[in-house]
């Protein structure tokens, strides 16, 4: 497996690259649609391929609970189970340590959860997380960490980071399947010295890639960008950089300018289910609003997705307001297309020396 940088923007840290995985090449900067339970909500694998999705995400915690690893083993792994032949990245369950704080207890070797489904108790630590992801057969495996709560005191963040670095060392020691890559995750909350310390310690472990976690958890956008300014320059330059769970189009463009290569976020599918469609400039259109009842333009005149080529705002609004599933599917399809196409525009701009102009569009 390899990562090659093929172009750089002369005015920023933005770079264009290619990541070779066991299931194909991922062109960076890349947006990865989120398929938490083995499916990107409202879209089929064939639709995702047609949209140009090169890699999707799965969730270790949720797939461990349902369908469970016995079924996953019988299916031959997540690729076969979901009929997705392109690359998959699986998170480690570390975000659930943050998001399900009321249902877990942190211990030295991992986390004891009460299932959010039925209360069943189970243990998830670095060894267990690596074993689950080995069974899933994902191309990119994430080390087990704790997504540090926000806000956190310095003492809380330091304690959390110490635990995370220990878990990531144990993750690094576990055996994976041939061809699987392992990414480390930088934590440290909003403290510069902790972020830099985490990056330095993870670099010593020689991961295949490096993620920045613990952002987009309630901090301001300005703070997020400041943390990236501290962190990304400390990461190995020849490895991919992944900003977890981010974000809006503007945030993605700004993170690319700071040297980030990979992104994921539930925003395009979640907003799609609630009737918000992205426009070219990164703003959103609330298509369920009454003012679109007689609007026979497409969602976005500049978009060439299936929804915009074939349907009007008025029709999609009607579908959404009467609860027809097609409405959710069309807005979701449009939004995922928007994010994938945004990354194409970013890659083209980096290659052609026009990234700063594109960046200015989002301000």
Beta-bridged to residue 243, according to DSSP, are 212, 263
User: What's the confidence (pLDDT) of residue 339?
Assistant: 98
Where does the pLDDT of residue 348 fall: very low under 50, low under 70, confident under 90, or very high at 90 and above? very high
Domain boundaries along the sequence of the chain: 30-265, 272-332
User: What's the confidence (pLDDT) of residue 324?
Assistant: 98
Q: What is the CATH number of domain 30-265?
A: 3.20.20.105
91 is catalytic: yes
Instruction: Evaluate if residue 245 carries a pLDDT over 90.
Output: yes
Instruction: Evaluate if residue 278 carries a pLDDT over 90.
Output: yes
Tokens matching residue 249: 């189009």
Percent of the chain scored above 90 by pLDDT?
Answer: 99
Tokens matching residue 40: 């990107």
In the predicted model, what is the mean pLDDT of the chain?
A: 97
Percent of the chain scored above 70 by pLDDT?
Answer: 100
261 is catalytic: no
Place of tokens 């993605």: 252
**Nearest 5°: CA angle at 99, between 184 and 121?**
95
User: What's the confidence (pLDDT) of residue 222?
Assistant: 98
**Is residue 292 classed as helix, strand or coil in its secondary structure?**
helix
User: What's the confidence (pLDDT) of residue 363?
Assistant: 86
Instruction: Evaluate if residue 165 carries a pLDDT over 90.
Output: yes
Question: CB of 227 within 8 A of CB of 195?
Answer: yes
User: What's the confidence (pLDDT) of residue 1?
Assistant: 73
Q: Quick: pLDDT tens for 76-108.
A: 999 999 999 999 999 999 999 999 999 999 999
Question: Which of 9, 91, 208, 261 is labelled catalytic?
Answer: 91
Beta-carbon neighbour count of residue 240 at 10 Å? 27
User: Could you give the CA distance from residue 323 to residue 269 in angstroms, rounded to a whole number?
Assistant: 16
User: Could you give the CA distance from residue 134 to residue 139 in angstroms, rounded to a whole number?
Assistant: 10
Tokens matching residue 280: 């070219």
Question: Which of 139, 208, 264, 300 is labelled catalytic?
Answer: 264
Q: Quick: pLDDT tens for 292-312.
A: 999 999 999 999 999 999 999
Q: What are the E-state strand segments in the chain?
A: 2-8, 15-21, 24-28, 30-32, 56-59, 88-91, 104-107, 110-114, 121-124, 140-142, 181-186, 209-212, 241-243, 262-264, 276-278, 284-286
Q: What is the DSSP letter of 143?
A: P
Q: What backbone phi and psi angles, to 5 degrees, belong to 13? A: -90, 5
């Amino acid at each position: 497996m390899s990562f090659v940088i093929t172009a750089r923007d002369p005015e920023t840290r933005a770079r264009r690259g290619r990541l070779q995985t066991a299931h194909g090449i991922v062109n960076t900067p890349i947006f990865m649609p989120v398929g938490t339970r083995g499916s990107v909500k409202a879209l089929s694998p064939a639709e995702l391929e047609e949209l140009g999705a090169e890699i999707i995400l799965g969730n270790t915690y949720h797939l461990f609970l349902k369908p469970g690893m016995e079924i996953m083993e019988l299916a031959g792994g997540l690729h076969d189970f979901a009929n997705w032949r392109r690359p998959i990245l699986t998170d480690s369950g570390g975000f659930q340590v943050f998001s399900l704080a009321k249902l877990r207890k942190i211990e030295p070797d991992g986390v004891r959860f009460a299932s959010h489904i039925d209360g069943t108790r189970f243990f998830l630590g670095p060894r267990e997380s690596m074993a689950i992801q080995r069974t899933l057969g994902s191309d990119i495996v994430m080390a087990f960490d704790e997504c540090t709560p926000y806000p956190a005191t310095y003492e809380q963040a330091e304690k959390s980071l110490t635990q995370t670095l220990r878990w990531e060392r144990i993750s690094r020691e576990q055996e994976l399947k041939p061809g699987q890559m392992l990414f480390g995750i930088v934590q440290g909350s909003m403290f510069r010295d902790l972020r830099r310390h985490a990056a330095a310690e993870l670099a010593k472990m020689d991961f295949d890639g490096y993620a920045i976690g613990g952002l987009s958890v309630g901090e301001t956008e300005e703070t997020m960008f400041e943390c990236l300014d501290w962190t990304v320059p400390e990461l190995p330059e020849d490895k991919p950089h992944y900003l977890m769970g981010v974000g809006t189009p503007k945030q993605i463009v700004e993170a690319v300018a700071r040297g980030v290569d990979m992104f994921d976020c539930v925003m395009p599918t979640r907003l799609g289910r609630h009737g918000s469609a992205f426009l070219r400039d990164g703003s959103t259109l609330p298509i369920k609003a009454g003012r679109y009842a007689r609007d026979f333009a497409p969602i976005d005149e500049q978009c060439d997705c299936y929804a915009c080529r074939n349907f009007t705002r008025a029709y999609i609004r009607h579908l959404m307001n009467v609860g027809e599933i097609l409405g959710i599917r069309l807005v979701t399809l449009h939004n995922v297309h928007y994010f994938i196409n945004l990354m194409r525009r970013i890659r083209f701009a980096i290659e052609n020396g026009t990234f700063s102009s594109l960046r200015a569009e989002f301000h």
